[in-house]
Amino acid sequence: MSTAVDPHTVSPAPAAARPASRGASLAEVARTFFRYPTPWIIGGGALMAWGFRLFAGPAGGWDLLIVAAILALWPVQEWLIHVTILHFRPKRIGRFTLDLHNAKKHRLHHREPERIELVFVPLRTVLTLLPVHLVAWHLIMPTAALAWTTIAVYFTLAFTYEWTHYLVHTRYRPRSRFYRRLWENHRLHHYRNGRHWYGVSMLMGDRLLGTAGDSREVPLSPSAKDILHDEPAGAKP
């Protein structure tokens, strides 16, 4: 089965390079999604948090404010993590070189965007951040109920990010206008220019921080699959 490609992107890997197990139906790609551990951990964390929140008492105005704040900040956070951590460049400090595990994984992901196992948030990162969030929000928030609200919303959005990012890299084709925008945006990031279109599950961060761009005006990068040797975000083409 052929893969439709945005006309303003570079063609993806040939069909022979794609895993044969990935089908085009939503049910098929969902089954593959849940063969990996991070969706279960993140999704399970979200369900657990919603369960604890349910038993912590009725929701109020502060809960709604927390939900609104996280939704407003999420696209900016997504952009910042993508630019500063995932696209981090190794730094030489004396005899040592500082590099980040997530950045190394992300470089591999850009080189081989069709490899599904490279799509997911690294397991090490998920296992580290899960307890950090559980402890930190209970220390920050004035009540356990508000802490569980924060954790539940955050993990739900993290699961949405994981699913959206995975789905874009499968052979499932967009069937809604909303998902098509996400699909086209991320494929432009991979196949046209890695210095633009950093948003995955939400796109407002690119608009606010100047990396959205018109696909017909943003130049085709010769190193879109080699982000280590590409120019940093915001650099002039």
pLDDT of residue 20: 36
| Residue indicated by tokens 């809960």 | 63
Ramachandran quadrant class, 181 (left: phi over 0; alpha: psi -120 to 50; beta: rest): alpha
Q: How confident is residue 231, by pLDDT bands cut at 50, 70 and 90?
A: low
Domain map of the chain by residue range? 39-229
Nearest to 151 by CA among 167, 180, 131, 168: 131
pLDDT digits (tens, 9 = 90+) for 76-111: 999 999 999 999 999 999 899 999 999 999 999 999
**Whole-number percent of the chain with pLDDT over 70:** 86
Q: Is the pLDDT of residue 7 over 70?
A: no
The answer for residues whose C-beta is within 8 angstroms of residue 136's C-beta and 6 or more apart is none
Average pLDDT, the chain: 88
Q: Is the pLDDT of residue 232 over 90?
A: no
Is the dihedral angle over the CA atoms 219, 165, 106, 68 positive or is it negative? positive
pTM of the model: 0.86
Tokens of 97: 């070189």
* Residue, of 13 and 126, whose pLDDT is higher: 126
